[in-house]
Chains A and B, each alone.
Chain A
Amino acid sequence: MDAPTQQEASSIGNEIGEITQLNAVQMVCGRSSGGGTTGCGSPAGRGDIPAETWEKVKNHPCYSEQAHHHYARMHVGVAPACNIQCNYCNRKYDCTNESRPGVVSERLTPEQAARKVMAVASTIPQLTVVGIAGPGDPLANPEKTFKTFELIHEVAPDLKLCLSTNGLVLPDHIDTIKKLNVDHVTITINMVDPEIGAKIYPWIFYRHKRYTGIQAAKILNDRQLQGVEMLAKHGILCKINSVMIPGINDQHLIEVNKAVKWRGAFLHNIVPLISSPEHGTAFGLSGQRGPTPGEMKALQDSCEGEMHMMRHCRQCRADAVGLLGEDRSAEFTTEKIIQMDVKYDVESRKSYQSSIAVERSGKTIAERADLTKCADNDSDIKVLVAVATKGSGLINEHFGHAKEFQVYELSTGGVKFVGHRPVDVYCQGGYAEERNLGTIIRSINDCHAVFIAKIGGCPRAELIGAGVEPVDLYAYEPIDKSTSAWFEAYLDRVNSGAIKHIEHGDPAI
């Protein structure tokens, strides 16, 4: 093994740990309440993040909560093979209506992928990032993955490259990853205890041999953690994804968080297990449930003191295209791309993106200018609110058109983004879909209010009945400013005895 000796490893670790701690604190940015605040950062959105880290993350929709409103990403599905089996994954099932990792509609050769990237970049100037995330493991297909990166770099050198891996063979490929200027690597780490790993991974294929059980999990985890350290050492940003599986690794993910933090990961993204039986995964078939939004939030909150937590992940398909939360992959099938007139114009892309940058910095300053903390209120009350938004940090979506609601936690410490709730749209082609209303309300009934640009009479009455106040007073206003103003008024109403604060339970989804 080319692993460093234990002493070496721990001294590297300490060094990295200190750096990361610094990064973690700085990444937290925003207000005093800690990470995940809206509009992560001070006026320009940058906070005190070291310049080189900020340069790498500022336009990456998956890393910056603000950037994801403005910049687009795409995944190219060039890597079908995998070298491990996970109980939450079944890549055989493919349906274009399905949105989850590990799934693509068509597999691409590196050449097709490069052409697709050009086509998307010339149609969607917001595109800043190209990733390889599967549908298998990118590093189990090293030739295809690296050839794709090379071709993309030739035709579109301004695009950032990233990849997402299970980490089993990551240490073998660090030098190539560095050489190809891949600046972000995501490793999915679900455990640091092989006994727990054995419940998640039935087997791995490593150095020409299939391993099972605890031995498999131990090899996998050793390699993953070694990979985290090596990435940090090479200055490649490392994000950790963890799938939260209630009863198996939920509390254990706090240990995972600590283990990856001191080794140098800069961001931890805990995602919920997706386990519908129709996906045919082992967990889906065994009836293993996913976590509730309340369980997710509690776990993310308990990890937050340790390092910056990512909460806006949309768990994309391995061939997703567009802004986070939208998928335009159907516009860019190989068949359609062949007919497209593709012109890669670096200059026009640059000017478009600098206009976004200008708009973004102006907006953040405006948002922040009259933000007032509830200084004269020292209440312990925390409430969740849902917001219908199309992006740009504004309350600008109608209740009936929302495909998802963003959820913010309000306290005297500030406004904190804590997640999003996908819903079935209430208004379908101008008609109210009554069946959807009940499920929409149930999915946000842990919130005290829902902020919308507009809402009809019927859903308004039903929301009030469910204890969720519909608020359209702040239509087209910035989210954080509006929700803090509402919260201040809420506290005043509670303090004056006009209303009584009632805690809401977990939503029923």
Chain B
Amino acid sequence: MPFKIIASQCTGCSACESECPNAAITEKGGTFVIDPKKCTECIGHFDEPQCMAVCPVDNTCVIDTSFARYQVRA
């Protein structure tokens, strides 16, 4: 499951954008969105999802349960 950003809570601060190891985050109309096809939940890159760790608003970068869990390709 990739991460998603809850737009109504996003301050548009852009902190997540440069931390994402997959360049999956871009600005859209003042707030930021995560491309679910690119998000790897930071697995293989970092111990914790970077967007969630750097986001100034709690519970704004969250798991998007409408997608399947990210699988590390063998």
Contacts and interface: CB of A to CB of B under 8 A. Distances in A.
Interface of B: 11-15, 17-19, 46-48, 50, 53-54, 56-57
Contact of B15 (A107, A136, A143, A208): A136
Nearest to B47: A209
Contacts of B56: 82, 85, 91
Given A208-B46, A210-B48, A91 B13 contact: yes
Contacts, number: 46
A92 B57 contact: yes
Interface in A356-405: none
Given A81-B18, A82-B56, A91 B50 contact: no
A80 B13 contact: yes
A80 B46 contact: no
Counting chain A residues whose Cβ lies within 8 A of the other chain, the interface size class is 10 to 19
Contacts of B17: 81
Contact of A91 (B11, B19, B48, B53): B11
A498 B53 CA distance: 68
A205 interface: yes
Contacts of B48: 208-210
Interface in A21-70: none
Nearest to B46: A208
A467 B17 CA distance: 58
Contacts of A92: 11, 57
B31 to A, nearest CB: 12
Contacts of B53: 205, 208-210
Nearest to B50: A208
15 contacts: A81-B14, A82-B56, A83-B15, A91-B11, A92-B57, A135-B13, A136-B15, A141-B14, A205-B54, A208-B19, A208-B47, A208-B48, A208-B50, A209-B53, A210-B48
A309 interface: no
Interface string A113-150: 00000000000000000000001100011010000000
Contacts of A136: 13, 15
Given A208-B46, A209-B48, A210-B48, A140 B15 contact: yes
Contacts of A210: 48, 53-54
Contacts of A107: 12
A229 B69 CA distance: 47
Contacts of A209: 46-48, 53
Nearest to A210: B53
B74 to A, nearest CB: 25
A81 B55 CA distance: 9
Given A81-B13, A83-B15, 11 more contacts: A82-B15, A107-B12, A140-B15, A143-B18, A205-B19, A205-B53, A208-B19, A209-B46, A209-B47, A210-B53, A210-B54
